[in-house]
Amino acid sequence: MRRRTPPPPAPLPQRDGVDPVRVRLPAGEEWATVGEHLVARLSGAGPGVIEAMFAAGRIVGADGQAVPADAPYRPGMFVWFHRELPAEVPVPFPLPVVYRDEHIVVADKPHFLATTPRGGHVAQTALARLRHDLGIPTLSAAHRLDRLTAGLVLFTVRPEERGAYQTLFGARRVAKEYEAVAPYDAALTLPRTVRSRVLKERGVQAAREVEGEPNAETRVELAERRGALGRYRLLPRTGRTHQLRVHLNALGVPILGDPLYPEVLPPVPAGDFRRPLQLLARRLEFTDPVTGAEHTFTSGRTLLAWSSYPRWAAD
C-alpha cells in the first residue's frame, strides 16, 4: 500500500492556543482558481468572508506567503488560515496541572470546560488554555472528557509520542476511576457490573442502550450514603460516549445535574455555571509507554453536591 505523504508544517503560528485551519485542494475537481474553490467550499463562513480574507492576505501557502484569490487551482496544494473564533464566555475556573514532564501533562479539568476545540468551544478549552499558559504549542490530548465532566485529562507533549499514549486508552491499559453523586436507592443491589450496548448517533444529544452485543462495561459501587444521596465509585472497563451517565440512569439513579439523562433539558444560557454535572474523573493509573514509569494520578477536586448540597442546589 502506498504511504500518504504527510502535509508540510503549518506556516502560521497558533493563535490563543488554537492551530490554524489547513485545507488541501482535492484532486479530481476542476476549478479555475484557488479563490473560486474556497469560496464554494467554505460557504458556511458567510457572504464575503472568504473574499475578505484573501484581500487581507490571511490565506497563505506552505511558504507562509499570502495566496492571491486568482492563483491557479493546483490539486494537492495546501493552504492555511486562522478562522474567526466564536464569541465565548470565559469558563471562570482554574485548570491546575497535576503533573508535568518532558513527555506528558496531566491536568485537573473543571466542569464546563471542553477538552479540545469543537463546535462553539475553541479558545475556551483545556487544550488551548494549556498550550497558551504552559507555552507548549505541540500539546495534544491523549483522550477526552465530556465538557460537563470534571477531572483528570492526559495530554502529550511530543507529536511523535501521542500515538503511544492514545493506544493505552484504546487497548484498555489505563485504570480509570470516576466518582458521581446521585440519588440513593435502597433497592439497588451494589456492587454490580453493568454491561450493555450503548449507541450514540451523530446529531443526537443523548446516547441510548440498544439490543445487541455489549460494548460498554462499568463496575458500580456505593462508596458512601448520606440521606437521600449516594456517592458512587465507577470503574469503567470501556470508554463509550456518555457510558457512565447512561449506566447510572439505567440503574434508576441518574447523576445529579445531568441535562440529558433521564430527559433532555433545554440548553442553559451561556455563562450559567450553576449545578454542574456531579461526575468526576478521580484517578488515572498506567504504565508510561515511553519511560516505563508507573503513574498514579488523583484529582484534587470534590463534588459540590456531596460537600455542600444546599450550595449546589441553590438558584
CB 117 within 8 A of CB 128: yes
- Greater confidence (30 vs 126) lies with 126
CB 167 within 8 A of CB 289: yes
36-40 own/partner pairs: CB under 8 Å, 24+ apart: 36/73, 37/73, 38/79
Cis status, amide bond into 254, omega within 30 of 0: no
Whether 63 is a known active-site residue: answer: no
CB 198 within 8 A of CB 240: yes
pLDDT at 1: 46
Q: What is the mean pLDDT of residues 88-95?
A: 93
C-alpha cell, 228: 437521600
Which of 5, 60, 16 minimizes the C-alpha distance to 38?
60
- Beta-carbon contacts of residue 98 (< 8 Å; ≥ 6 apart): 106, 107, 108, 152, 297, 298, 299, 300
pLDDT, tens digit, 9 for 90 and up, residues 95-144: 999 999 999 999 999 999 999 988 778 889 999 999 999 999 999 999 99
CA distance 171 to 165: 10
Which of 284, 204, 216, 213 minimizes the C-alpha distance to 249?
216
pLDDT, tens digit, 9 for 90 and up, residues 169-221: 989 999 999 999 999 999 999 999 999 999 999 889 999 999 999 999 999 99
The model carries a pTM of 0.86
Beta bridge partners of 100: 105
pLDDT at 120: 78
User: 63, 146, 272, 288: which is the annotated catalytic residue?
Assistant: 146
Burial 90-112 (b: 16+ CB within 10 A, else e): ebeeebeebeeeebbbbbbbbbb
pLDDT, tens digit, 9 for 90 and up, residues 33-61: 999 999 999 988 788 899 999 999 999 99
Element of type H or E holding 20: none
CA distance 204 to 295: 36
pLDDT at 177: 98
C-alpha cell, 137: 504549542
Is the pLDDT at 81 greater than 50, yes or no?
Answer: yes
Rg of the chain (C-alpha set): 23
Three-class DSSP category at 169: helix
Element of type H or E holding 295: strand 294-298
Beta bridge partners of 236: 218
pLDDT, tens digit, 9 for 90 and up, residues 217-252: 999 999 999 999 999 999 999 999 999 999 999 999
- Beta-carbon contacts of residue 273 (< 8 Å; ≥ 6 apart): 91, 92, 93, 111, 112
CA angle at 145 for the pair 142 and 150, rounded to the nearest 5°: 125
